[in-house]
Chain A
Amino acid sequence: DIAITQSPSSVAVSVGETVTLSCKSSQSLLYSENNKDYLGWYQQKPGQTPKPLIYWATNRHTGVPDRFTGSGSGTDFTLIISSVQAEDLADYYCEQYFVYPLTFGSGTKLEIK
């Protein structure tokens, strides 16, 4: 199975700051045939259902604000949230869909100072 490690487990930032969340895979998620990284990000606000944010490592899901940016390739990925808003308080999960079984990271909890 591919192991996904997210860090930090929690982070607290002030409104307006930028935060970087890390997601590392135990194997490369880059498929050479199509040059795509099979990595996605989800946001789960307290008491809510997970919401898709980013797919193919860098593509924003429909309606996701452009302050959310996915980057990285291979085994190392990041989610950058620029100008954090109070509404961004949530848990953030990355998921690899390169191979079954699909696996999620343990999540990063974003808190607002």
Chain B
Amino acid sequence: QVTLKESGPGILQPSQTLSLTCTFSGFSLSTYGMGVGWIRQPSGKGLEWLANIWWDDDKYYNPSLKNRLTISKDTSNNQAFLKITNVDTADTATYYCALGGNYFDYWGQGVMVTVSS
């Protein structure tokens, strides 16, 4: 059974770095063809893809966030990570991690992140 669960700080201040963790089970990110993505959704708005990481450590980022994103993984602990630097109020959203390098088959429950001074 595949499960994913996101964790994060809940609230942080503008200009800080947001660090998110996705802890998963039921698959391994060291298995050929596996990938994990991060997607976010501001309250009442649509979905925005942020980044993907693949089993071979290949990484892809949404260029709209320029160089603020860093995705990584810890295969031994079944975790994936996303860092967003220099956050502002526009980064307030629910952040999801999901299994799949492109089409997302399984999603975590999401973690709400608020950026506020």
Q: Do A and B bind each other?
A: yes
User: Residues on A close to B: CB < 8 A?
Assistant: 1, 38, 40, 42, 49-52, 55, 61, 93, 95, 97, 100-107
Chain B residues, CB < 8 A from A104: 46-49
CB of B55 closer than 8 Å to a CB of A:
no
Check A102 against B102 for contact (C-beta < 8 Å): yes
Which of B14-22, B60-68, B71-79, B85-93 faces chain A? B60-68
Q: A50-B107, A93-B46 are in contact. Are A101 and B102 (CB under 8 A)?
A: no
Q: How many A-B residue pairs have CB under 8 A?
A: 55
Chain B residues, CB < 8 A from A102: 37, 49, 52, 62, 102
Check B103 against A52 for contact (C-beta < 8 Å): yes
Main secondary structure of the interface of A (DSSP, over half): loop
CA distance A61 to B103 in the complex (A): 11
Q: A100-B60, A101-B63, A104-B49 are in contact. Are A52 and B105 (CB under 8 A)?
A: yes
Q: A100-B60, A104-B46, A106-B46 are in contact. Are A49 and B96 (CB under 8 A)?
A: yes
Main secondary structure of the interface of B (DSSP, over half): mixed
Closest to A50 in B: B107
User: Residues on B close to A: CB < 8 A?
Assistant: 37, 39, 46-49, 52, 60-64, 96, 102-110
Closest to A104 in B: B47
5 contacts between A and B (CB under 8 A): A38-B103, A40-B103, A95-B47, A97-B102, A101-B49
Check A49 against B104 for contact (C-beta < 8 Å): no
Check B47 against A93 for contact (C-beta < 8 Å): yes
Chain B residues, CB < 8 A from A93: 46-47
Partner of B47, one of A38, A50, A52, A61: A50
Check A97 against B103 for contact (C-beta < 8 Å): yes
CA distance A38 to B106 in the complex (A): 17
Q: A104-B49, A106-B46 are in contact. Are A55 and B109 (CB under 8 A)?
A: no
Check B110 against A107 for contact (C-beta < 8 Å): no
Check A107 against B105 for contact (C-beta < 8 Å): no
